[in-house]
Structure 1
Amino acid sequence: MTVMDTMGRFLETGTADGKHSSFGEYDECLDLESPEDKGLVVKGQYCLVKVILPYPSVNSYKRGDPYDPTFDEEGITPFKYLNGGNFTTITKMIENLNTYKGSSYRLGFCTPHLCKKHEIEEFINKVLYPITRLPLEVGRYCIRKDKSEDLTMLQILSVTILVTLTIIVITSTGIEIYNIIYEKSITEDNRNLGETKFAEEEPFKVNPYYYTFSLVTNSRKLFEQSNRFTSLDTIKMFVILHIYVFHLYNTLATIGIVTLKRPFATYPSQVLELDRYTTLRNTLTFDVLFIMSRYMRFAVPMLGSMIFINVLPLMGSGPIWDEGTQWVTTGCQNPLVVLFGMLFISNYNDQFALMERQSAVPFCNPVTWFVSAIFQLHIIIPILIIICYKNAKYGVYTTVGVIVLAMIASIIPTVIFNILPQMQYILIDSYEELYRSFTWYHLSTTQYIVSFVVGVAGGYLIRRDWTLSIEYEVMGWCASVFTIIIVFMWSNTFWKVQKSAPLYSVLLWFTFGKFGFAVAITWIFFCLCTGRAQTMDYLLSWPNFNPFSRLSFSFFMIQFIVVIRRVFGVKETITMSDGLLIENSIIDFMVTFCLAYIFYSLIEAPFTNLMAIWLKKGQKDDLLSPPNGTVHNVDKPVSGAKNMMMKDMGHVNHIELEDDFNQNHNFVETIKI
């Protein structure tokens, strides 16, 4: 019997630099097929073999034991420079082995498809174990080209829902196209026969539900010009693109490190910091209807993203595709995870679980933690607006008090619970403590109250049309630009691999640094919304940005599908570089926007239209920004849902439903910067 690995050489380049995998020739292995001999055809079968290192349990290591000075100097210090401090303590090394169950290296093998998994594992260990004294383990199953996997019940349900929605969209689109053609034919007949023949005829009315799923109606919304602050929507789009790049970059360097060829040599020592600041636009209403609309606005896309994630395993293949997709699909199969997500408390669930030293419940869609935090702020913060509009003086006092309390609350994990911020990662002994720090300083809603309240104050000033002299405007611009630069430079000092930044500096950044950044960003938004930055507003309001900015929420909700596809769909180890990161990001932007349009057409836009019909309103306040830079409150009646008359098809061609959640009514809009 001849056993062949799937590599061109042994060992592959990059192994000495810490490469975790040698996938070999994945596609070539699956395409192998022997000539038929006596009715028997032998095909290629790809198996991923893991080298298992012996490791103790985390609990068996006593954190109080002193390190050996020689090991600390000669063993740990080099890792600080090569791996950004990830392996700076013995505990972290043991935890890393426990996380991957001892897997330190993955090797691709191509075997005949007639061989069983346990037979391959027994044979390899029989040959190699006497030499290496390290056990080898074959993955959960070997991959064959003609082998089909059975669908789970959730996958069957998800596929059924997507197919049903697609049929409804096609039907609704067909109805609208037919009506448009019919309207044009009537118009042509009237032109040929004269208007008198049909002058007394009652216009034909269309049920508003017919067009809720129509691609014509919903696609037109993407290109409509809005009299609201389109420049802010454009900024939101660019911020979400930046967040995507961070997720791709960070996922490759953490859970996707097994796909890199030279992770220690090519992965930069500085990790991109996800800018975590929020601002809002305007709000005047706070009632049950508002809460219901906000909940439905977030809950429906969240459920939709879970449906897409459930079918993610069917979208690709590769040596580690199955292991990678389980990172997100496992959470979607857990009813408790889905429940916490729908209640918008998933970010707090992880914190309490870790504080009680229990296993944290995973996320179904990793971005839902931020949606949960934003929804909580949507419900709580409008109380502040009510106080401001009831009594401006008390509103100012309340706003200042909330900001001060929120600044204190942002550093409570360190002050009270002695939890170091994640920027102190070199001083943090274990991954468990590092993740606990991440949940308190990144996932906690308290970290976003300051910037949210500052945005409330900015939105209040916008609606009050706060006037300033030219001198104060210039000073405001200089101060905001200077503050933004200082805060970013300050943040970059936290990611040095030689030593951690002083704790007082990190805590000051979480309090005064984030507050200053929020004020600076809110000033820019204030100028954009009041005509004080007309050139910037003109550039950001370019009409071609509209469809992409209106797809930004769908983009945000399904971005991890493309990230997982990029990271775990690889079939060979790659050498990560800045050029490759930029190339992949540009390609993934286009793919994600296409997928976001599908998500928007199937789920987001139709259910936004349905909510506009169900949650009827008699009147709403609209916020307009005229060319002269002033801001006025314009009251205009809005009907819950209008019947479309056929004679208007040539002018409107769609139901005048309330626009997406940016235009339903005055609300708290969050922009993640």
Structure 2
Amino acid sequence: LDSNGKPPSGILQGTLTDFGSFDECLQLNTESLAFSERFETQYCLMDINANFNGTIPTDATPPPNIETDGIIWDPILRLFWSRNNLLSFRYGLCVPSTCTQQELMELGNFLAEPMGLSVNVHYCQKEKTFMVDKTQTLILASFASLLLLIIVGTVTEVSIIYRKNEKFLADKSIADFLVSFSIYRNNKRFLSAAKKLQGSPLQHLNGVRCLSLCWIIMGHTYFYTDFVHYHHYRRLQHIQNVDDDLTFMPIANFTLSVNTFFFISGLLVVYSNWKKLTASEGRIGLLKFFFHRIWRIWPPYFVVISLVLILPLLGSGPLWPQSVENTARVCRENWWANILFVNNFQTPNELCLLHTWFLAVTMQFYAISAFLLMLLYRFPKLCIFILIAFITMSGIAVYMYAIVNNLRIPTVIADEVFVDERNIVLTLYIMPYNHLGSYLLGIGFGYFLVKHKNARIPKHVQTLAWLASAFIMLFVIFAPYKAFRGFLPTVHHSALYLATHRTLWALAIGWLVFACSTKRGGIINKFLSWSAFGPLSSLTFLAYLIHPLLMVIHTGSIRERVYFGHYELLNIFLARTMMSFGLAYILFVLVELPFSSIEKYIFPQYSKSLKCTQKTTNAPPILPIITCNLSNQVKFKDQLLCLIEYIKKQVIFEPNAGVNSCNETRIEDKTKINDGYYVFISQQ
């Protein structure tokens, strides 16, 4: 009895769950009890629901067996049982393992039916034994192999640096492959990558990325589409109370930050590829274009999905089967859709790691961007017209979808259309056309930035642009305020907002990015370009991948309810953000950087971006001049091998370190080495 859950205090404020004592139940020693045989105990969850389904209109009268004094009817039923029993009263049961779930359900329903209730018993757990299946064994073996490579690579680099190990130096290809996994080298590369935008016109994007990711984590801390996440909270009615607070609207509209990332992705596709596009006269190597992108995403993506599959081995808790094990089950069945970047087209129950819809949509946009880039270079006016046309059509598509499905501005009001809000997230929200406008605006602004960055803009026009940008941001964030308070707009007004607010947000972000990139950002640019954002910006992709896993683990392992209040959730947000960036750093150094280094071994032709050519100059007679041009196609510019035919030796360039080395000879931009040859090093 002591381990069983009991009706909690605060039911009228939305406290629906009492887990009981999970660990006490499973550790119960029945040998000391007065039973003829020793038996094991099991912990089960019992859900109690109302015996009705369907919509509860605002002016409806309560069904039989429901109190009519307005206290039970409004805050409880309308909030939690408005349709399909989204949430239910949930209690922990500690019973002998000989009892089946069916027997417990029959007994519970026998007692509950006279009160107009129904009982469901599920997720029964016994004391956990460590059992590993074949898939988990393969994953653990792969992780062990990767760890071994990391150890060997680190030891190899230390041996080369401090002991001049001739065995490894004799075969530089093997040594270079092993050192690709070295923690020492990859940590230096992390610090170097963190400075990749330092001094660049786009340095402020570091701050934009970091703040946008923090906004996403904050929003997910308050609101998550998996309803099991809310079972461990007390006073759930406070979710609706926050609607009255105008200052809460930025958190409620946190999904706008996703469109900031879509805009940045579109802008960088143009900005980072324009020089190569110009050099090749508008041609793009599609295989290299797509492979380099996919290769950057796949290794950490595989690791995160693999972590999900072994998570069931790593913990326990009242909600562990429903939270962690269910997530692992879905990923075990549908991981292939994530790897192929089509998971956003699956049904809600088939989505492995819901938040990875963003990666799928980004890759789908990236697929069309190659053709848009070539068109933008050859026929810029036609391409701009096409961009505007597609932005318009995507808005019309969202508008029509909202009209046909009678959708409204998404809020957290749990009334007769509460389920529709979840459907918005799982249907409209993850569809490409809902975010196409933001991405295409990024492409348009990227083109304008590379072609007209020195355009003269009068001061008064700049002022108007800043005011318009600020107004659009504030309007998009705060426009739904009345809807959150229960004053729902018409379907057409809701559809118009849904069709335009994300594109409008991207438009406002576009001016901010353009202004900061052209030295018109003032104090905003200085703040967003803060050097501390540099390292964190390199980790935003991995932190985004990881942070929902922390939510799933927290929900599954928690033993007691948490008060739903701003202070409590702020603490959770800060802890989750720091843990996300910390784990992202580990994955960045141990997974992303090593696999980016070995890309040249899988596709050697892709790494031949360092071309050596002989040029005729005014140098002293007879002495050839060799110029090495380092292409921007190479993401990490260190450790690139260039065989200079005239001096018959390998030169390892490390431009990020500020020093170039030729074996053990340190050379600067112009240094005489071997037989009077000169080497010039320049970056395109």
TM-score range, shorter chain: 0.7 to 0.9
Q: Match of 1:353?
A: none
User: What is the 5 A alignment of 1:28-39?
Assistant: 28-30=24-26, 33=29
Contact 2:408 2:489 in 1 (8 A): no
Structure-2 separation of matches of 1:542 and 1:452: 26
**1:329 Cα deviation from its structure 2 partner:** 1.1
Structure-1 separation of matches of 2:171 and 2:596: 27
Structure-1 separation of matches of 2:424 and 2:654: 57
Unmatched runs of 5 consecutive residues or more in structure 2: 244-250, 278-283, 612-627, 643-649, 662-682
Q: Match of 1:395?
A: 383
Task: Kindly indicate whether residue 233 of structure 2 is the aligned counterpart of residue 254 of structure 1.
Answer: no
RMSD of aligned alpha carbons = 4.3
**1:232 Cα deviation from its structure 2 partner:** 0.7
Structure-2 separation of matches of 1:594 and 1:618: 34
User: What is the 5 A alignment of 1:153-232?
Assistant: 153-182=134-163, 207-224=175-192, 225-227=195-197, 228=200, 229-232=202-205
Contact 1:328 1:363 in 2 (8 A): no
Aligned residue identity for 1:554? L
Q: Match of 2:677?
A: none
Contact 1:121 1:136 in 2 (8 A): no
Helix, strand or coil for the counterpart of 2:563?
coil
Structure-1 separation of matches of 2:495 and 2:629: 45
Q: Match of 2:336?
A: 339
Aligned residue identity for 2:21? E
**1:456 Cα deviation from its structure 2 partner:** 0.7
Task: Kindly indicate whether residue 271 of structure 2 is the aligned counterpart of residue 272 of structure 1.
Answer: no
Structure 1 residues 78 and 619: alpha-carbon distance in aligned structure 2, compared to 1, 3 A threshold: farther
TM-score of the superposed pair, with normalisation by structure 1: 0.76
Contact 2:469 2:508 in 1 (8 A): yes
Task: Kindly indicate whether residue 214 of structure 2 is the aligned counterpart of residue 241 of structure 1.
Answer: yes
Tell me which moved more, 637-646 or 363-372: 637-646
Helix, strand or coil for the counterpart of 2:346?
helix
Helix, strand or coil for the counterpart of 1:167?
helix
Task: Kindly indicate whether residue 325 of structure 2 is the aligned counterpart of residue 326 of structure 1.
Answer: yes
Contact 2:229 2:555 in 1 (8 A): yes
Contact 2:62 2:73 in 1 (8 A): no
Unmatched runs of 5 consecutive residues or more in structure 1: 187-200, 351-359, 622-633, 657-664, 667-673
Q: Match of 1:637?
A: 631
Q: Match of 2:61?
A: 70
User: What is the 5 A alignment of 1:568-607?
Assistant: 568-607=556-595
Task: Kindly indicate whether residue 462 of structure 2 is the aligned counterpart of residue 473 of structure 1.
Answer: yes
Structure-2 separation of matches of 1:596 and 1:319: 28
Contact 2:232 2:561 in 1 (8 A): yes
Q: Match of 2:11?
A: 15
- % same residue: 18
Helix, strand or coil for the counterpart of 2:640?
coil
Structure-2 separation of matches of 1:78 and 1:546: 52
Structure-2 separation of matches of 1:168 and 1:653: 28
Structure-1 separation of matches of 2:512 and 2:651: 45
**1:248 Cα deviation from its structure 2 partner:** 2.4
Structure 1 residues 80 and 409: alpha-carbon distance in aligned structure 2, compared to 1, 3 A threshold: farther
Structure-2 separation of matches of 1:139 and 1:654: 64
Structure-2 separation of matches of 1:649 and 1:41: 72
Structure-1 separation of matches of 2:185 and 2:123: 47
Structure 1 residues 369 and 211: alpha-carbon distance in aligned structure 2, compared to 1, 3 A threshold: same
Structure 1 residues 342 and 75: alpha-carbon distance in aligned structure 2, compared to 1, 3 A threshold: farther
Q: Match of 1:453?
A: 440
Helix, strand or coil for the counterpart of 1:256?
helix
**1:299 Cα deviation from its structure 2 partner:** 3.2
Q: Match of 1:484?
A: 473
Structure-2 separation of matches of 1:53 and 1:272: 29
Deviations 1:389-415 (A, max 9, x none): 213332332232222222222223135
Deviations 1:213-240 (A, max 9, x none): 2212222222222244332133112211
Structure-1 separation of matches of 2:423 and 2:31: 57
Tell me which moved more, 472-481 or 527-536: 527-536
Q: Match of 1:662?
A: none
Task: Kindly indicate whether residue 301 of structure 2 is the aligned counterpart of residue 302 of structure 1.
Answer: yes
Task: Kindly indicate whether residue 124 of structure 2 is the aligned counterpart of residue 141 of structure 1.
Answer: yes
User: What is the 5 A alignment of 1:116-135?
Assistant: 116-118=97-99, 129=110
Paired residue for 2:509, among 521, 534, 539? Answer: 521
**1:26 Cα deviation from its structure 2 partner:** 3.3
Structure-2 separation of matches of 1:439 and 1:5: 37
**1:500 Cα deviation from its structure 2 partner:** 1.9
Helix, strand or coil for the counterpart of 1:106?
strand
